[in-house]
Amino acid sequence: MEIGANTCIDRGALEDTVIEDGVKLDNLIQIGHNVRIGKHTAMAGNAGVAGSAKLARIARWVVAQ
């Protein structure tokens, strides 16, 4: 797992927040509570995931500026 600068991962409220093996998070990402991110997912900078969302394995998130 790689986590970039100024990335915030919220602690789980009802369930655990889970980031699986091989995940790469760029800078300035917000991960909400109870989120589950599947293996080998990559997220580009300045993105966010709302609480309780579930991302599949090998997902690619790119945010256009």
40 is catalytic: no
Catalytic residue among 33, 36, 39, 40: 33
Q: Could you give phi then psi for residue 9, rounded to 5 degrees?
A: -120, 115
Please state, in angstroms and rounded to a whole number, the distance separating the CA atoms of residues 9 and 57: 18
Residues tagged active-site? 33
